[in-house]
Structure 1
Amino acid sequence: MSLSTWKVDTAHSLLEFSIRHMMISRVKGVFNDFDATIEANPEDLTNAKIEFSIDINSIDTRNKDRDDHLRSPDFFDAETYPKMTFTATSIKKTGENQYDITGDMTIRDQTKPVTFDITFEGKTKDPWGNEVAGFSGSTTINRKEFGLTWNSALETGGVMVGEDVKINIEIEAHKQAE
């Protein structure tokens, strides 16, 4: 089956992350503005072309001071590096509707290979007859590998911010007219 172009419906999609805070809890956040170029047969992603671009300034952890700190040079340095990107380089089918999608993730000026565990959730038609496909997935990255090294020691031992960042995605994509 040939590849089709799919547009991510950001109103029905989610790009979220979580990270340990003060060694005892997790802080969650989202990126509200992102875009993707997807050329795929959703029922067989092995030949898909996938690129994501995330607007760093759209970070939202429900706390303005924390969001401003995350945008600062201590973390993302959004003024210098306004986008985070991911470009798939290898896609392997690992089971029924399951894939490992490996690609180059760039945060700040660091590009590293990252693998997402992705599930094709299915395909349907919306009330207007348009084809819609759903995908979910996750990965964990070490933020220090991408130059996000700021931290603060805690008086009781340990550090303020963990190193591992869990990323979850929920994508609804609409097939574009050919």
Structure 2
Amino acid sequence: MQSSETTGRGSTYWGRISVILRQPALRWFWLGGSTQAVGQATQFLVIGWLVLETTGSSAQLGLVIFLYGVPNVSFLLVAGVLADRFNRRHVLMVTQGGVFLLLSCLALLTVSDIVAIWHIYTAAVFLGIVQSLNMPARMTMVSDLVEPRSLLDAVAMQNAAVHAGRIVGPPVAGG
């Protein structure tokens, strides 16, 4: 007789998770993905704060969110093809480097006290594009790191990390 925690395969939930976490490549990838999710949530809060500090306008904040969202959604189909065609690890490195570069430029402009709203608009558009390229590569990379029988559990863990990052990120940013 199976307990409520067991699956059709006869292993407990925590047993399946421990099997996944014993795989070093996935463990490091999951830890990196968790950190990236917190960073992304932090980034959204800080950029929103920057828009409000720069303009004082909630309409401008809405426009920045729109300028991020449209390219993010528009490029997803292309991004999925690129994630399948190119080495996913390289796609992730390039996109994370792109995010770093964009946010570093925005931070430098802000610290120099020369940031203008058009800088934030531009960063939002490019962040939307870069993040759309990142997401399919990140999600499909999981299948490269685990055995097929552990894939569903690994994808669930990766998605849990993304959602946990959305919860943890804003308080980390000070919001």
TM-score (norm 2): 0.28
Larger strand proportion of the pair: 1
Larger helix proportion of the pair: 2
Bigger-Rg structure (1/2): 2
Q: Highest relative contact order (Cα 8 Å, sep 6+), 1 or 2?
A: 2
